[in-house]
Amino acid sequence: MNHDIPNPDRDEIKARLNAEAARISWSELERHYARGIVVRVAGDVDLIEVAVAMTLDEADVIAAAMAANQVAPATEDDARGWQGCSLWALVIAPWILVQERVGEARDVTLQ
């Protein structure tokens, strides 16, 4: 997802979403997963660009990312793998985008 054409609205949205992204523990996301609103973003994809595309309703961009399995509903395997971890998360209502970054050490909370 590379949007090389500058767009002030896009830049403002991107800056706002970047400020809203945060690390959150999986335990705080589990109830949202149970509701079916957690969306996994591949670790090698720009989480903020996905969020911008969703915010701007760029259906073609999201469809292409889904077809490439870069964006998908979180699965049971994802949920099991995220137990005890923290992830980057961003709310794009009604969805919660989550990402485990490639090359980033797992932040495992001892329980």
Q: Tell me the sheet residues that pair with 91.
A: 96
pLDDT in tens, 1-58: 444 555 669 999 999 999 999 999 999 999 999 999 999 999 999 999 999 999 999 9
Q: Which one has a higher pLDDT value, 21 or 108?
A: 21
Continuous segment of H or E residues that includes residue 19: helix 8-20
Cα atoms found within 13 Å of the Cα of residue 76, Cβ hemisphere only: 0
Neighbours of 12 (CB within 10 A): 10
DSSP state of 108: B
pLDDT in tens, 49-103: 999 999 999 999 999 999 999 999 999 999 999 999 999 999 999 999 999 976 5
For the chain, the structural domain boundaries read: 9-99
Sign for the CA dihedral angle at 89, 107, 25, 85 comes to: positive
Sign for the CA dihedral angle at 33, 103, 69, 15 comes to: positive
pTM: 0.84
Residue 111 pLDDT > 50: no
